[in-house]
Amino acid sequence: MQATQLQDILHVPVIPVYYNDNPETCASILRACYSGGIRTFEFTNRGAAAADNFRQLLQLRDQEMPDLKMGIGTIKTAADADQFISIGADFIVSPIVSREVAAVAAQPGILWIPGCMTPTEIALAEDLGANLVKLFPGDTLGTGFLKAIKPLFSGLKFMPTGGVEPNRESITTWFDAGASAVGLGSKLFAGTNEAGFGQLSLRCEQLIKALPL
């Protein structure tokens, strides 16, 4: 199951990372990203409305976007992992390496993507069964870190998140350095509002076209 989830991510490896308290705004963002070609979306557990909004987004996905994979990010505890897996998350993303979260995700075979910043954390994530590692924060680590670390962990794939710019140059530079996917947060959604959802779709489409696939 994890292998299938990983292949789904790698098929269109541009992953929006988003949270908003307003469920209608969340729905508009999701539709715009999907219209632009996005097929994997990470909603983050960063507010009181996270569980309710994620549940509503999953319902919207099932109705309108059945091929979209929906993951939950900012998962730091086993309890949160268990809650969102029960709601229906396709994958779990953490900003840290947690044995407890890894164990919860492993029980139903859910893909777990831990956040790492050092070789020691990456090695621990690998020991705990991770196949895809989130390099976070990406702008602090930089492409030089990825180039240096990748040969040491040839069995792992890497997804820089945080600081990845939503433009062709940044995407190309990260993939040339060895990234297998990229996560894009606030910079992807900058300027998006009721009049700008179409622009978000176009931005996603352009990023996907920039992929060296």
- So where are the chain's domains? 2-209
pLDDT value at residue 196: 74
Strands (E), 19-174: 40-44, 69-73, 91-93, 111-113, 115-116, 132-135, 157-160
pLDDT value at residue 84: 98
Active-site amino acid positions: 42, 134
Closest CA to 20 of 192, 213, 198, 196: 192
pLDDT value at residue 213: 64
pLDDT value at residue 10: 95
pLDDT value at residue 194: 57
- Give this prediction's pTM: 0.96
Q: Where does 2-209 sit in CATH, by number?
A: 3.20.20.70
Q: Which portions of the chain are predicted below pLDDT 50?
A: none
Mapped onto helix, strand or coil, the DSSP state of residue 58 is: helix
